[in-house]
Chain A
Amino acid sequence: MSHWITLPTLIPAFTAVVLLLGARLDLGTQRSISVLSTLALVGVSLALVVQAASGDYMAYELGNWPAPFGIVLVLDRLSALMVLLTALVGLPAVLYAIHGWDTRGKNFHALFQFQLMGLNGAFLTGDIFNLFVFFEILLIASYGLILHGGGEKRVRAGMHYVIFNLTGSAFFVIVLAVIYGVFGTLNMADLSLRVAEAGPEQEAILRAAALLLLAVFSVKAALLPLYFWLPRAYGSASAPVAALFAIMTKVGVYSILRVYTLVFPGSVPLLDGLPGKVLFPVALVTLAAAMIGVVAARSLRRVVAYLVIASVGTLLAVIAIFSAEALAAGLYYMIHSTLIVAALFLLAELIADQRGSREDSLEPSTPVAQPAILGSLFFIGAVAIAGMPPLSGFLGKIFMLQSSLGTAQLPWLFTVVLVGGLLGLIAMGRAGSVLFWKTEGDTVSSPAATAAVFPVVLLLLLIGGLSFLAEPISAYTAGAAEQLMEPGPYIRAVLGQGAETP
């Protein structure tokens, strides 16, 4: 049973290798292998979540090298949740891709599986250099995926995306060198102990390392000065890729959560709450800028891309409070925002395909072939992402605002989140009325295949489940937040019971 924790990385790795070796297999076989692997991931990650829900940590020493010398994989509530979320976004994305996107270029499924492998590895690893390696795996797979389908728009957006992330990676290596040079370890649990006992002469370098690392993660999470690549890249990527990328910004959020609760928590005297102090204003400005982008965007895909940035801004503004309640609320909102953004990216393409040459641009065009079904799906999606009752967006926002009661951040958070929500509502309402009502001429397109609509329905059903089962799910996220705020047991699980935790 203890080997299960390696499966979320091993299954997609093996599948990808099989798909590469079997590149001459007919498309049907490739598709079934890819779908089966993703289904297996859903199963395994569900089992991991059930195991993590008990509150036990599971540390797995790769190659049986004892920590802190070897690399450990660690399963706690947060990492199990992230792995499950990856699988739940991956499955609809791959089900959508088998309706044509995977024929527009080679090796789509292999790259897709490598991407899943990188994501799962990044969520499970307990070693910060290994985190870098998994980042690179998911990035190089994403470079291939973002260009999938080719065309000028994608090459141009892909160029920015690749250059930006390569620069980010170089800085990541520099931070790792600083951390290793100062503390002599890369195991996150071990680092946590060393940082806690760092002397005042290390204050400057400790702060520099902590903030430089925040900048690196902000590239992934797309925080304010570092998000300009995102709208174009996500807006021009193929729909299944954009849907999968809904989880990519969350890798940055996850890393921030992990590192700034475990390795560089604000409670360390030398840091004195520095991560939260920097993160909060940056996240709020990100949210504000993103909402302006949402209102200004000229196409549905751009609207959704800006909504991705807005969700990251909201999420990190709440996380920056660094209290157990705030983290619990943030995690619930993270599940919601990932699923709904993925659904909207898929839906945007279904709508674009039926609007003739205007595609998804927000101008009058020929009516869509299936106004009833696409319109209803869009309506549900808009209600969810704008944070209207009764869906999980509303619950998530309530949880987050409640968690900020009594903190100094409250007035800022309430103002920006609520005004942002209003702008989102206006933008979605306007987009919906232009797309479905401002029509001219007759329908020129044919209806989408039922199986292509199914992934969107699946994601919206998950949103429904998230709203309906809000109580057990928020209890789980509260448990995850408690684990994050109390790193002692994590450290003991990795380094052994004898480790002296503060």
Chain B
Amino acid sequence: MELLVASGVGVMVGAGVYLVLRARTYSVILGLALLGFAANFFLFASGRLQLGLAPVIVVGDETVAYPDPLPQALALTAIVIGFAMIAFVVVLGLRAHSDLGTDHVDGPGGELR
């Protein structure tokens, strides 16, 4: 499972970085989304990967192991923020396309360089 999670994060970051460096807003936004997913996934994994543990603490029984709830809360916060940001940048991308007449991130003239 460690290998799966680690390579998943790695592949997503790699793909995200590649897409962010592209010249079209659409691929850049996809890249930003992938980077965000990878970051959230990584954040989630920072609480250690554990299987089959009780979801909550059992009152009175101190011996039951439970997963660290904090990274889950952090990941949730980061997901909400990331979602809002992606929504914003999608709207901005559409606005840029209609205002500038091109979807190049540098606007008109970006193609020439």
Contacts and interface: CB of A to CB of B under 8 A. Distances in A.
Nearest to A159: B96
B15 interface: no
B18 to A, nearest CB: 13
A156 B100 contact: yes
B6 interface: no
A155 B40 contact: no
A38 B82 CA distance: 29
A136 B81 contact: yes
Central interface residue in A159, A171, A176, by most chain B CB within 10 Å: A159
A177 B81 contact: no
B77 interface: yes
Interface string B27-40: 01000100110111
A173 B78 contact: yes
A62 interface: no
Dominant secondary structure at the A interface: helix
A180 B32 contact: no
A441 interface: no
B46 A181 contact: yes
Nearest to A175: B39
Interface in B80-103: 81-82, 84-85, 88-89, 92-93, 95-96, 99-100
A177 B96 contact: no
Contact of B39 (A133, A156, A174): A174
Contacts of B20: 163, 167
Contacts of A186: 70, 74
Contact of B88 (A140, A152, A173, A177): A140
A228 to B, nearest CB: 12
A194 B79 CA distance: 28
A169 interface: yes
B99 A163 contact: no
A170 interface: yes
B42 interface: yes
Contact of B35 (A132, A160, A167): A167
Interface string A142-168: 010001001110011011101100110
A311 B100 CA distance: 33
Contacts of A171: 39
Dominant secondary structure at the B interface: helix
Interface string A55-76: 0000000000000000000000
A212 to B, nearest CB: 12
Interface residues of B, number: 36
Nearest to A167: B20
A162 B46 CA distance: 27
A162 B88 contact: yes
A158 B106 CA distance: 11
Interface in A368-410: none
A20 interface: no
A151 B107 CA distance: 12
A166 B99 CA distance: 22
B84 to A, nearest CB: 7
Given A133-B77, A156-B106, A177-B39, A163 B89 contact: yes
A163 B105 contact: yes
Contacts of B67: none
A169 B85 contact: yes
Contact of B32 (A129, A156, A167, A176): A167
A166 B105 CA distance: 15
Given A156-B107, A159-B92, 7 more contacts: A132-B78, A140-B88, A150-B99, A163-B28, A166-B36, A173-B78, A181-B45
Interface of A: 129, 132-133, 136, 140, 143, 147, 150-152, 155-156, 158-160, 162-163, 166-167, 169-171, 173-174, 176-178, 180-181, 186
Query: Nearest 4 pairs between A and B by C-beta?
Result: A181-B46, A173-B39, A177-B43, A177-B46
Interface of B: 16, 20, 25, 28, 32, 35-36, 38-40, 42-43, 45-48, 70-71, 74, 77-78, 81-82, 84-85, 88-89, 92-93, 95-96, 99-100, 105-107
16 contacts: A129-B77, A140-B85, A140-B88, A155-B92, A155-B99, A156-B100, A156-B106, A158-B92, A159-B25, A167-B32, A170-B82, A171-B39, A173-B36, A177-B39, A177-B46, A177-B71
